[in-house]
Structure 1
Amino acid sequence: MTFNALNVGDKVKIRDNAVADNRHRIGDIGIVVEVNSGSLNPYTVEIPTRGRGVYTRRELDRVPTFKVGDRVRYTAKHPDTRDTSMKGMIGTVRKLDSANNIRVFWDVTQYEQGHFPENLEVVSADVNTISTPQRFMKDERVEYTAGSGYYAPERIGKRGTVLVDQPVNGESVRVVFDGDLTSKGCLAPNLKRLDAKRGDALRATAKKLEQDASGIGDEIAKLSAKRVRMNNEVGTLRAAAAILDAA
């Protein structure tokens, strides 16, 4: 079988990009009755009252067996349309719009999206995205990691302090990263607790300010040296002008 292959017995829908058999129509739903992996059109599909036809994988969509309330994981297995950055995300089916549009409310992003059924798989009802056993509390020191399928790459490795207690049953944590003046919303699975003292945040901020001040001092020194060179040049030009006047 190939990647994301169909199996005998799968219920499928003829896609709008298919070169449908004369007996079949775009949108027809049937059953895979035979798979010949060595063929260019490996899937034989039987549709009630219309008979059989052969198709490629990209001409067929698997009809969902999901129901509202199912807990699902994003698998990124659709052969054409998938988002690998979402792989592993957990959510709940909210609505079945059509055979190719399963509405899922994702735990980590707290918003609803429509997805192809090939990108979803049912998981146990008690699967929870939160990978940390305890809520993050105010003043805890944390480090940002790629703990979930949805994260900000530019934050990985940054350390900070939790601004407020993590809400009960919530996955968003407000964190003030060292050197920043404002807080950022972070998903709990992307945070790792640090064994640190509460004063570390202030020390980190003080260190950054010290580095900034040092940088400003370096700039001032460069500007001062430039000023001296410019003043020397002014003196040289004036002396040359005096010589020309006297000639």
Structure 2
Amino acid sequence: MSDVARIVGEPRFGGILVVCDHGGKSVPDDVDLGIDPALIEQHIGHDIGVAEIAERMASNPGTAAFIANFSRLVVDLNREASDPAALPEESDGRAMPGNRDVDRDARLAAYHAPFHARLEAQLDAAPPALILFLHSFTPAMQTDDTPRPWQCGVLYEGDDRGAMIAKILLEKEGLTVGDQQPYSGAVYNATISRHAEEPGRPYLYLEVRQDLIGDAAGQAEWAECLQRVCNRIAMELM
């Protein structure tokens, strides 16, 4: 269970924990996805920029990061285990032949269940004041080239407290913020449902556009911004 995720920084009671369930890029030696390995470096393989932002944020006292090690093409941790998309057979129009006719239960048992068990244990051991579930999105989909105008988007299911505070703060930073954009947190919500909504933990689920965080300069800028925003949200939700 130790290799499904890595922790950066020191999780603290009353601190901030940044969770990147789509932050990993590794593919286990015994998993053959049947694709060009270069695709792992693209959005279908991982959420570009989020692990680097989380690592930078975790350099601040009181903030830590919990980052998945494996690509979401191995297993999509932000899907329920019962969802066929947890082992995607295609992503943004690209086929994943290695995920067909596999032992689904074994794959989920090896990667999906341990990740969520370890995250739950971490949240119980050092309950944070705020969980930041950090994702990124493409400026446009391969299957639909309509530009996405938002620089970031807040997502939520039932508890919108963190999202609404963040929206105000991010707009004050001069950003164009989507509300439930480019996806809906009421649909893509497996991780927040299990670890935040159901147990009542305060959280912010945020998507950042990848062209803004694809290099070190952008990652540093957003890490600084999100640290300010998360500190403020945590204070207001206390």
TM-score, normalised to structure 1's length?
0.23
Pick the structure with more strand per residue: 1
Higher relative contact order (CA 8 A, sep 6+): 2
Pick the structure with more helix per residue: 2
TM-score, normalised to structure 2's length?
0.24
